[in-house]
Structure formats: structure tokens, C-alpha cells
Structure 1
């Protein structure tokens, strides 16, 4: 694999990991009734994004054959 492609995969992997962590930490919906606040969040997209980041990092880290 070309060195440039490896670097791009590594950068994309780190970016996907950071973005996945960001969308996991911020709640998607929030309902506020007086002093009661309810936050609901589905982390499916965050898990998929983090998984793709890990795959991209592993693909970029593979040794040249």
C-alpha cells in the first residue's frame, strides 16, 4: 500500500474516532419540564463511527507486504 494512502487512512481514523466520541458525549434530545431534565440518546451512530475509525487505523497500520 502506498505511503500516502496509509497516512490518509490514519488521519481519517483519528478523525472518525474523535467525531464518534463527540457525538456519543453530546445528547441528541433534551426535554426540560421545570426543574426536571430528561436527556435521551441513541448511540448507534457513534458506535458505527468509532468502529469505522478503528478499521481505518488498523488498515493504515498494516505493514507493507
Structure 2
């Protein structure tokens, strides 16, 4: 990399920093989803159960 012009070195460095930041964000999201996955599964099961029992109410987007 030292043989590259300074401006190109800066571009490569900026690209690598952005790439590393993206990877770190992906790791954070993966960890967040891993921690909440069981809660999401439980909520989905409850929703399916309520639908089957006729307790579910249709979502009215106008009330949001």
C-alpha cells in the first residue's frame, strides 16, 4: 500500500474503515436478534393462538 499515491492510500483507508464499521454494525444486530429471538417466537405463537381462538382484532392502519 505504501507504493500507492497518498490520495489513493486515503481512499483505501476510508473504504476499509467503512467496511469494518459495517461489520461491527452487523455483529451488533446479530447479537440483538439472538437475544430477542425467543421473545419474538413466543409473541408469534401467542398471535397464532389468539387468531385461532378468534380473539385477534384486525389492525386499522388509520388509527396508527
Common fold by TM > 0.5: no
TM-score bracket, normalised by the shorter chain, equals: 0.3 to 0.5
Q: TM-score when scaled to structure 2?
A: 0.44
More helix by share: 2
The structure number with the bigger radius of gyration is: 2
More strand by share: 1
